Structure 1
């Protein structure tokens, strides 16, 4: 373990660049977004009740299964739209929850929607079989081949099944990010293919004007959000700011920094700690976007990103040439100064997780001596930005702690094997005394972040002073 004490500066040096600060996210945005999601489900249930759904439950086994099947199908469809809306990059939702929490909620809502879809299919088929006094397999064939929109509904179910299967943790680990992202575009296909079935055979559409108005509005809002925030806004920002590659620098083993130039970047609502989805227009494969955090405080005419080769997208960074045009989506993320509570900052980074924290150390406001960085790496040569960090420490009075060594194998810990004699909590007490007086920022691999967060919370750090954003997919 290496301790690099800070050089105390007599005063603050000029760091970063003058920018128009984005507005602070209103705390009520999060509550409104959550309430609207629940209200949409309650509206769907109310429409089912108004369509004599409850009365059908007492009308015999066939109507019982059919009515419950319709309810589960309607709620599944509504949750599917909620799922799409959560990942539509709507600024109100993105800034309220953060991408890591949105991804978790998106996945949870998706699994509920899919499970209810399976329940819908099973109950409807059983209900129709009882009504027609038919064989289940024969009834299934009749429904699929003769009911309006059912073949498209089967295709929609297949597309959604593919999305759900690839969302399971084991499948995500086996897939490259680029492949996973491409497969998840099938969710949009599933939503689109399900609409004809609902219009042509759904009881709500065929019998209730109010239900038709609700569902057309819901589909319209979801479509508008996707077109506006996933297509139009990124295209507008790409054309407006005209980003191109200026320079490519190898930082270390497998780590590459790309300096991007553009115009009017001071008008973009971006802050240190955030990330963009980049598409480098350099040939085949340009359409696959990859998320990269800023590794320096954004300037009026340039941005900087740094990544470690971990897939096709990040590996191609080293081959970029100056002048390559860049398409962007973003900025995204909540790992910024906006949520700070105290006047002190302690940062825990592991590996390439130093990227957003290095940018934050440059941009955040703090007095000399009120910032600490704990940086975990396997070897000294794996310390990305070491020279920059030490220069920054000298100018701004940052205390640096380098923790070097392999992963600890005797217990689940954020410390290296060389620090086996320390407990996780004792190490934090030594490295960041009185940690409860700090805002703590954490970035690195998920398991390592879990260990750090568990330790600082056990030491009494208030939850609102812990800031993290996970970039796993």
Structure 2
């Protein structure tokens, strides 16, 4: 490490001793309000359908199929817009729910909307076919070719089908994050193409000014949220804070830290444990954002992220040059000390998950005597932040326990061992585990195993804090 990098890292280590503005914890009512509005929107859509006549004629198959097709189409459209809103990253909603929860609901809402859309297309086609010559395929072609907006809707539907297929876990695991991120943008195009036919041909737009006001308002609110929180706010923060790469420092084999300087970073509403989507303006590929968590508490003029070489975006980090400009989107994430219930902290990390725990130690501060860190790593000599963690242990009383060794065959979160079960080992490592609160960061399956053993050791779910990068 060069002399200049030593000076920078020294300043990061002192971040906990420097008073930084405390960010207010999210208000609970934001979570309740957002969830209630989503449910209410489905109720309103159903009520408008009923007010429009519902099922008027039960004789034959044509009329019931057409009217039920209208209802499933309205539900699909409403859920499609809710799905977009879930990932719009509205700050108050994101801080209340967390990105991992929102991403899971986004996924479930997307699949529900997709199947309702398929049902809508099928029922509408069946209804029109029964009212005409009874030929399903010919009716489907006539609808697409002759009705206003239907050709665009068909193109949008194909794009949404493509995104849904690639969202199936088996397919998604085969994609790099960068490829998935690029392909997922086609969902926005699919939504934009699929919805206009509702305006031009939808019966619900024709019969009621109230229905037209509702749908236009929902479209406008969704578009406004996307523009405001996915485009305008990130651009404003990037321009105002003017982040640039200060230095890139090797931390361990395949792991580097990127130090960034900027303008008035104390005004950036971020705290330890949160992440940004980063775009480094270093050449081709800069448009693809990558999520990296802060690996040190934010300082008034300095931020740090630590990146493991695991893909195209992360691999580029080691080649960044000082002075490279950076665009940011965020901060996001709820794995912060705002969740703290005042108990002694137990931090448990695996692999590159230590980056989040390292930042949280800065935010917890030296006053929290009795903090314990369990760090799962193959080899202590190659552990990320080993010198910094040893320094925290020596100066601030943090007890750092390195869990060294290969992966256990039975899926344990601990390294391979013999004898006592995992819960007994946990209690031996941290005798007062039931009196603490835990912060976890690591691979999803690993965190699932940790949670199970913490519960078995007497810790309640409300005291176990974790968050996953969900994509």
TM-score (norm 2): 0.95
The higher relative CO (CA closer than 8 Å, separation ≥ 6) is in 1
Q: Name the counterpart of 1:5.
A: none
- In 1, the alpha carbon distance for the partners of 2:464 and 2:305 equals 24
- In 2, the alpha carbon distance for the partners of 1:379 and 1:35 equals 49
- In 1, the alpha carbon distance for the partners of 2:298 and 2:127 equals 60
Instruction: Give a deviation string over 1:114-135, Cα, whole Å, max 9, x none.
Output: 0100111111111111111331
Report the alpha carbon displacement of residue 157 of structure 1 after superposing the two structures with TM: 0.4
Q: Name the counterpart of 1:441.
A: 439
Instruction: Give a deviation string over 1:275-332, Cα, whole Å, max 9, x none.
Output: 0100000111111100000000000001000010111100000000000000000111
Q: Name the counterpart of 1:335.
A: 335
Instruction: Give a deviation string over 1:144-194, Cα, whole Å, max 9, x none.
Output: 111111110011101111111111111221001011011111111111112
Matches of residues 294-333 of structure 1 in structure 2 within 5 Å?
294-333=294-333
- In 2, the alpha carbon distance for the partners of 1:344 and 1:279 equals 36
- In 1, the alpha carbon distance for the partners of 2:253 and 2:402 equals 18
**What secondary structure is seen at the aligned counterpart in 2 of 1:322?**
coil
- In 2, the alpha carbon distance for the partners of 1:17 and 1:270 equals 15
Matches of residues 158-169 of structure 1 in structure 2 within 5 Å?
158-169=158-169
- In 2, the alpha carbon distance for the partners of 1:443 and 1:14 equals 21
Gaps of 5+ in 2: 1-13
- In 2, the alpha carbon distance for the partners of 1:182 and 1:468 equals 27
| Number of residue pairs matched by the alignment | 458
- In 2, the alpha carbon distance for the partners of 1:450 and 1:61 equals 49
Range 260-269 or range 131-140, more displaced = 131-140
Conservation of the 8 A alpha-carbon contact between 1:362 and 1:392: no
Q: Name the counterpart of 1:180.
A: 180
Conservation of the 8 A alpha-carbon contact between 1:343 and 1:370: no
Q: Name the counterpart of 1:43.
A: 44
- 2:418 aligned to which of 402, 417, 420: 420
Q: Name the counterpart of 2:429.
A: 431
Cα RMSD over matched residues?
Answer: 1.3
Report the alpha carbon displacement of residue 342 of structure 1 after superposing the two structures with TM: 2.5
**What secondary structure is seen at the aligned counterpart in 1 of 2:16?**
coil
- In 1, the alpha carbon distance for the partners of 2:396 and 2:107 equals 41
**What secondary structure is seen at the aligned counterpart in 2 of 1:210?**
helix
- In 2, the alpha carbon distance for the partners of 1:382 and 1:47 equals 62
Instruction: Give a deviation string over 1:218-252, Cα, whole Å, max 9, x none.
Output: 01000010000000000000011000000001111
Matches of residues 78-227 of structure 1 in structure 2 within 5 Å?
78-227=78-227
Report the alpha carbon displacement of residue 207 of structure 1 after superposing the two structures with TM: 2.0
Report the alpha carbon displacement of residue 55 of structure 1 after superposing the two structures with TM: 2.6
Instruction: Give a deviation string over 1:338-369, Cα, whole Å, max 9, x none.
Output: 01013300011000000011010111146464
Q: Name the counterpart of 2:394.
A: 394
Gaps of 5+ in 1: 1-12
- In 2, the alpha carbon distance for the partners of 1:228 and 1:343 equals 38
Residues 416/210 of structure 1: CA separation in 2 closer, same or farther (3 Å cut): same
Q: Name the counterpart of 1:27.
A: 28
Conservation of the 8 A alpha-carbon contact between 1:83 and 1:106: yes
Matches of residues 329-368 of structure 1 in structure 2 within 5 Å?
329-365=329-365, 367=367
Range 221-230 or range 360-369, more displaced = 360-369
Conservation of the 8 A alpha-carbon contact between 2:343 and 2:436: yes
Residues 188/400 of structure 1: CA separation in 2 closer, same or farther (3 Å cut): same
Report the alpha carbon displacement of residue 470 of structure 1 after superposing the two structures with TM: 0.5
Alignment pair present for 1:253 and 2:262: no
- In 1, the alpha carbon distance for the partners of 2:413 and 2:95 equals 29
